[in-house]
Amino acid sequence: MFTLAFIYIALAFGALAALATMILRIGALLGTCPDSSQTARAAAVIIATGFAAIGAGGVILIGAVLPMLPDAQLAGFLGALGFAALCLGLGFTQAVGTLRAVMFDARTKAA
């Protein structure tokens, strides 16, 4: 029980940290362009913070289901981990989409 819970926390928060880092790195990559570097970096930090906060909340809430399934531990563990990964991935798509929208609006405004 505790082992599975620990593995769940490690994997889910590891994925969350990796994805949040990726948002920051994408922001840093976009920030190499001198025209929009300020916009990109500020937006990436804000979006990564929001993603990390919402993602942590989601991971903890999904993890709260684990103790409710003492009879089907492995199924609960895999289900919770899969659902968490699915939602984190979709959230990451939205986060990068927001970053792109910010850049898109900045470019449209500049043009």
Partner 1 sequence: MHSMILPPPVPYPPRYIIDPVAFFVALIGGPLLFTALSFWALFIPVFALGLGGPLYLVIGTPLLLCYLRRNDGDPGDLAALAFKVMVLALVPITLLALLIGEKEVFGFGFAFSGFGMIFGPAWAYFSGWIYQRLRREFFAKPRSF
CA distance readout (Å), 68 to 5, 59, 61, 84: 12, 15, 12, 17
Distance of closest approach, residue 40 Cβ to partner 1, in angstroms:
9
List 11, 19, 50, 84, residue binding partner 1 (CB under 8 A): 50
Q: Which amino acid is at 82?
A: G
72 dihedral zone (left: phi>0; alpha: psi -120 to 50; beta): beta
Distance of closest approach, residue 15 Cβ to partner 1, in angstroms:
15
Q: Which residues bind partner 1 (CB under 8 A)?
A: 26, 29-30, 33, 50, 54, 83, 86-87, 90-91, 93-94, 96-101, 103-105, 107
